[in-house]
Structure 1
Amino acid sequence: MIAMNANSSGPLLQLLSNGLQIWIRGQCDDVGELKLNLQGSALQLLRGKLEGVSLTARKVSFQKLPLLRAELKSGALQAHINPSNPGQPIQLSHPFTIDGEVVLSGADLNRALASDRWRWLGDLISEQLMGLTPLQTLSIDDDLLELQAAVIATQDPVRARFGLQAAEGTIQITQLETGKSFLLPMDPGIHIDKANLKAGQLILQGKATVSP
């Protein structure tokens, strides 16, 4: 068995690593730092197969969600190698699983929920839990979530604090005062196992199925 990173020597190993990096970056809006480790035997690699990939990335934007950090591991991969196409030297041919942890800062999450891409989700959370829209701000205070929603009749926003945990494969947000809770809508290919707030960050652990 061998493990290699993106700087591994050997043309085939470098091609596989470079190809996977190109594919991963193509799935994201932006990637600041990316490190890969490939696991597999030499024979498997020659056949375009890998037992798995572990990935560490920092400052990633995925579907307009800014991630501070992502640490992920994949299941087995099957790939077609095409050295003649430097822009896409590797093509993944079958769905595969990934599991691991992603971290978002409260400030980045607040900006994301104010964006055109995710404003609907912020307003949905505010409406379901506070009966008000639009969501004005979201912040994380240690292990609690605070939401503020604007009220037309007054200049002062309504504030409420919430707990957060994983439930039913997604994220459950619960208002501390009333106990009212709301399950976030989740992509059916994603399953959240753990969710918690700490030091101004949202930390999620779970698994997903990726279809190339």
Structure 2
Amino acid sequence: MADSPGLGEQTLNKAVEIGLSSQLDEVENLDVNIKTDALKLVHGQVDAVTIEGEGLVMQKDLRMEELEIQMTSVAINPMSVAFGKIELTKPTKANAQVVLTEADINRAFNSEYVRCLGWATPTQLQSQKIHVNGQLTTIQPQHVDFRLPGDGKVALNATIKLVETGENQQVAFSAVPQISANGKTVSLENVEYGESEEISPELTKALIDQTSEILNLSNFDLEGISLQVNQLKVEVGKLTLQAEADVEQIPSA
């Protein structure tokens, strides 16, 4: 078949692009490429579906620099094509890649959504009471600086306000990100403080838990598509997650 998509493919490509865009707060670029032909469509067969996106912002102000999802041998309901949709007749597997930049992760840490709403759960920071220098105190994060310096590590430098005294404390450490056993989250291991001291194990744990919360891959699931990480690559300035996607439905208009 020719490289340029046929009319049926173009219609489906646009329908999926619209369906995906409706789930996102911002989209810089989104490209859907469906490979099939008219005869295969009649029999409910699609050779491949590729979804590539750049600058995709999910709810909660979580941004992906890049998203790529690749599916092969997709079985669909041929009747759904008449309505410009792709209705899967059975779930399928896909390969996915998510790239997060240093700036993306900092944006999530310091976003108004996370400050006002997201910090409220027990694993998060806002207004938690924890022990700092032996005293039980309420903490408020002022700013979190997240860095990807290379060498397979992440680094955090956080300014935390101690409400009762009004003083600010600096917390700085590096750690090695590891994929959790269930493949849904990234945890931080082998914490090192360098020249600074640990002022509170509880505060360190709260920051580590918050990082895991932001890097929870469920945050990046789309409707009908859930991701499970099987490989993590840490480079200077960016974090690349290789994942397997369980696809129950492909979003479409």
* TM-score bracket for this pair, using the shorter chain length: 0.7 to 0.9
- Deviation, 1:77, is 4.7
Change (3 A) 1:122 1:59: farther
Deviations 1:5-40 (A, max 9, x none): xxx343212112222222222232222112333234
Q: Which residue of 1 aligns with 2:135?
A: none
| Structure 1 runs (4+) greater than 6 angstroms displaced | 178-181
1:122 CA displacement: 9.9
Point out the structure with max Rg over C-alpha: 2
Whole-Å separation in 2 of the counterparts to 1:203 and 1:151: 32
Counterparts of 1:3 and 1:116 in 2: how far apart (Å)?
A: 48
Q: Please say if 1:148 is aligned against 2:158.
A: yes
Q: How many Å separate the matches in 2 of 1:208 and 1:122? A: 30
**2:81 aligned with 1:68:** no
2:244 to 192, 207, 210: 207
- Tell whether the 8 Å contact from 1:163 to 1:176 is kept in structure 2 after alignment: no
User: Which TM-score applies when normalising by structure 2?
Assistant: 0.64
RMSD: 3.5
Residues 1:125 and 1:202: Cα distance change in structure 2 (over 3 Å): farther
Which structure has more relative contact order (CA 8 Å, sep 6+)? It is 2
- Gap regions ≥5 residues in structure 2: 133-138, 199-203
Counterpart code for 2:172: R
Q: Percent identity?
A: 21
Structure 2 equivalent of residue 16 of structure 1: 12
- Residue 103 of structure 1: how far off its partner (Å): 0.9
CA distance in 2, matches of 1:194, 1:97: 16
**Corresponding pairs, count:** 202
TM-aligned CA distance change 1:190 to 1:131, over 3 Å: farther
Query: Per residue, is there more helix in 1 or in 2?
Result: 2
The range that moved more, 31-40 or 11-20, is 31-40
Separation of aligned partners in 2, 1:3 and 1:165: 43
1:113–1:121 CA contact under 8 A, matched in 2:
no
Residue pair 1:145, 1:164 contacting (<8 A) in 2 also: no
- Looking at structure 1, the residues matched to 140 and 247 of structure 2 have their Cα atoms a distance apart, in angstroms, of 33
Give distance in 2, aligned partners of 1:140 and 1:3.
45
The separation in 2 between residues aligned to 1:28 and 1:98, in whole angstroms, is 20
User: What is the TM-score of this pair, normalised by structure 1?
Assistant: 0.75
Structure number with the higher strand fraction is: 1
Secondary structure of the equivalent of 2:15?
Answer: helix
CA distance in 1, matches of 2:6, 2:233: 42
Equivalent residues of 1:171, 1:184 under 8 A apart: yes
Partners of 1:90 and 1:126 lie apart in 2 by 43
Structure 1: runs of 5 or more not aligned: 84-88
Q: 1:147 to 1:48 in 2, by over 3 A?
A: farther
